[in-house]
Amino acid sequence: MNLFGDFEAPFLLLLVDPPLGKFVVGANSRQHRQVEPLSPDHVYPGIVERSLRLVADEGKSWYMPIPAAHPAHMPEMKSMFDDIVALYPYRPTQSSADPLTATDICRQLVLSAWVARLRITEAEVAIRQTHMTTDPSMDILNYRNWMDGSWMHAWTPRDFGGLVRAKTSLERMDLRLLYNMDALGVGKTNSITEEWEAEAWKRLRDTLLTLKMRVDILLQAYTQAVSARESQIANKQARQVGYLTSLATFFVPMSFVAAVFSMGGDYAAGEKKFYVFWVISVPIAVLAFSVFFFKGPISKLMPIEEEGNVKESAMVKDALTKLMQKYSRTPRDGGLPV
């Protein structure tokens, strides 16, 4: 692989320690070589305790790669070499005559590790998607309330940063997955994988692309939630301004009456007829206050039917016609009124 991450030529590097049989065969020379007994200095030391603590106890149930002949020989997923040595005697269909035929267990273990990793990632994405706008400590989640009120809750800034990091992590995982598929020749004519293995790698890639799409949807929903929150804040401010404007109109009638009636002389402040100002301005202020703040309830208390409205309009029109005929000037010759 060059500096840019491209494979210049297909190659395979096989490391097996300890040997699987009593002899090994060269890939090019096809010569048999006797396996020498291992000395205590070259025995695999095992996993240190610090690394073992990093592996979750429940994580062992996620790895079920190979059905062994006996439950006691299930892989422990601590050392790939130990698992290969433990599982190899129970697979009589395989052969150690060719180094390429001794990698099937290793490949299945790698696929199992990839499946477990994607499952953990999928669970994390699902948890983040559920708790995006709800309290993570809720024992029982009411999905109806969550769907109806999710846009009303404040989304913390950490959510967006976590989604960006998840997107970056999935991109790195996708790149590593493509490297493995390219090295194995999945989807190419010179593939060294069997059909089941190629299908397994393709399904892993499909699962990873699905997770990336879900994270993208969450990112888009986050930006839409920001716009929705800004609109809600703007509407709330507009309502507050409307209330202040309506409240200001409560004092307009008083100044209006004082200006129109010029409230001077006996009607000025402190004079004997100043009560006229309050007699006129207070009813007007109450009427304006009722119209601005109780317009809905008043309209419900005074229902107007369409038919009655038409009749009232006709009655008003007839009354105006009679009034005009009564007070209009009519010529003595009985002609039309002027």
Does residue 326 carry a pLDDT above 80? no
How many Å from the N-terminal Cα to the C-terminal Cα in the chain? 108
- Could you report the per-residue pLDDT of 198-243, keeping only the tens digit for each? 888 888 889 889 888 888 888 887 777 777 778 878 888 888 887 7
Residue 98: how many other CB atoms lie within 10 Å: 11
**Predicted local confidence at residue 292, as pLDDT:** 65
Q: Where are the domains of the chain?
A: 11-102, 112-135+151-248, 260-327
- Could you report the per-residue pLDDT of 142-176, keeping only the tens digit for each? 544 444 444 445 555 556 777 778 888 888 888 88
DSSP string, 148-176: HHGGGSPPPHHHHHHHHHHHHHHHHHHHH
- Could you report the per-residue pLDDT of 70-95, keeping only the tens digit for each? 555 565 656 666 766 666 666 555 55
- Could you report the per-residue pLDDT of 48-62, keeping only the tens digit for each? 344 444 444 444 444
- Band of residue 178 on the pLDDT scale cut at 50, 70, 90: confident
Domain 112-135+151-248 has CATH 1.20.58: yes
Could you tell me which of 51, 106, 115, 50 has the C-alpha nearest to residue 78? 51
Return the sign of the alpha-carbon dihedral for residues 214, 220, 224, 225: positive
Rounded to two decimals, the pTM is 0.41
In contact, 204 and 178? CB cutoff 8 Å: no
**Predicted local confidence at residue 277, as pLDDT:** 73
**Predicted local confidence at residue 13, as pLDDT:** 44
Does residue 185 carry a pLDDT above 70? yes
Helix extents (H) in 185-274: 195-248, 252-260
User: Is the previous residue joined to 331 through a cis bond, with omega within 30 degrees of 0?
Assistant: no
Rounded Cα distance between 182 and 8, Å, is: 11
Kindly list the distances between the CA atom of residue 51 and the CA atoms of 78, 109, 308, in Å, as whole numbers in the listed order: 10, 19, 88
